[in-house]
Amino acid sequence: MTTAQPFPQDFIWGVATSCYQIEGAAEEDGRGESIWDRFAKTPGKVIDGSNGDVACDHYHRFADDVALMKSLKVPAYRFSIAWPRIIPAGRGPINQKGLDFYARLVDALLEAGIRPFATLYHWDLPQALEDEGGWSRRSTAEAFVPYVEAVLDRLGDRVSDWITHNEPWCASMLGYERGIHAPGVVDKGRAIAASHHLLLSHGWAMAAIRAKCPRAQAGITLNLGPMLPASESAADHDAARHADGHFNRWFLDPVHGRGYPDDMVRDYVALGALPAAGMTMVQPGDLEAIAAKADFLGVNYYNRSIFRSEAIPEADNEPVVRSLAPASEWTEMGWEVYPPGLHQTLMRVHLHYGPRKMYVTENGCSYSTGPDAQGRVADSRRVAFFRDHLLAARRAIADGAPLAGYFAWSLMDN
């Protein structure tokens, strides 16, 4: 029998949210329209037609939400700041009422003894900037810097932990390649340009944080996960290589000073998503800016993916040796529950990229089990999910990964 090893004494435990998903107050106190406001209100884009106009009403109820966290003895809270609330048109005048809200939130957190982790961008680009081309244009990265500086000027004396971007893969690839996230564009070339400009704005934001808040800790959050071949065939391995490059390495490599993966640039050229000259949007100094030294890497982990090649006929491929768990073991988001993937992801990042420190900045599951007559939820699946993923995280620490904290997704339903 083995004795369970505790987490380090200084390990940071927290919960996480995002502004559009919880705040509401979409048209109050000078907030501008975001791409998610426009996208969610476009017929057919959201299955049930819901939007963030009210959401969890956190904008009006933040004091109650902070009190709830205090009652739960939550040590840290990761939240995001809405660019359209601070600079409604994306560039130009600063909306002081927007800054006032986040100042009140931070003050309430500190008074409750809760450590604030602020994310500067969680997908809600001002619609006015999208009307000019959005993240596929360099000018959006340029506009990001004054917004970041305005937030730092107001909150930098009280917030010591900053995340520049949340999941730039989602913002670029789901938003501009697949069109299933805002702004709903389907254009692989624009998605690749968006990915670069998102990372570039990360680098510029890091420089602003270093200049204005030299004692702060700062980094970026990437969504990561294992991309595995369905069989041992060369074709399946190549499909998994491409998926890994698209999802993981395209973002991990440049932020760790390696530039964009050569194999993926070749793939994108072959697909017609890039010109023969490759990443022509990259200007001198861009890669150096993106590789700004970070204090930590945020890792969002939810699931793994398995790939079967479509490049050869199924009859010519090798037998499948790896497949997802039965659907009965998936969350209600349609995602497989695979705790070993968290350990695999943390160890891969640790061994191949060597960040100084890592946080699991999101990990959680979607289940809709309701309360019983006594108001209690028999939430056994969620309990098992967190237990098994925390065991995987603890194993990664034991194996040498510099994991320093874990934030559960999410504080509240949204």
| DSSP H/E element including 362 | strand 358-362
Torsions phi, psi for 12 (to 5 deg): -95, 125
Q: Burial letters for 137-167: b for 16+ Cβ neighbours within 10 Å, e otherwise?
A: bbebbebbebbbbbbbebbbeebebbbbbbb
> Which pTM was predicted?
0.98
Token pair in block for residue 81: 């700041």
| Catalytic-residue membership of 288 | no
pLDDT number for residue 5: 74
**Calpha distance 372→344 (Å, rounded):** 37
Give the other-Cβ count within 10 Å of 109's Cβ: 24
pLDDT number for residue 20: 99
User: How do residues 213-251 score in pLDDT, each as one tens digit?
Assistant: 999 999 999 999 999 999 999 999 999 999 999 999 999
pLDDT number for residue 341: 99
Catalytic residue among 23, 33, 130, 362: 362
Q: Write down the mean pLDDT value for the chain.
A: 98
User: How do residues 80-129 score in pLDDT, each as one tens digit?
Assistant: 999 999 999 999 999 999 999 999 999 999 999 999 999 999 999 999 99
**Calpha distance 66→111 (Å, rounded):** 10
| Catalytic-residue membership of 167 | yes
Domains observed in the chain: 12-368+376-409 (3.20.20.80)
pLDDT number for residue 4: 60
Kindly give the confidence (pLDDT) of every residue in the chain, 414 residues in length, as a single tens digit, with 9 standing for 90 and above.
344 678 999 999 999 999 999 999 999 999 999 999 999 999 999 999 999 999 999 999 999 999 999 999 999 999 999 999 999 999 999 999 999 999 999 999 999 999 999 999 999 999 999 999 999 999 999 999 999 999 999 999 999 999 999 999 999 999 999 999 999 999 999 999 999 999 999 999 999 999 999 999 999 999 999 999 999 999 999 999 999 999 999 999 999 999 999 999 999 999 999 999 999 999 999 999 999 999 999 999 999 999 999 999 999 999 999 999 999 999 999 999 999 999 999 999 999 999 999 999 999 999 999 999 999 999 999 999 999 999 999 999 999 999 999 999 999 998
274 Cβ neighbours under 8 A, 6+ residues apart: 189, 192, 265, 268, 280
Catalytic residue among 23, 33, 130, 167: 167
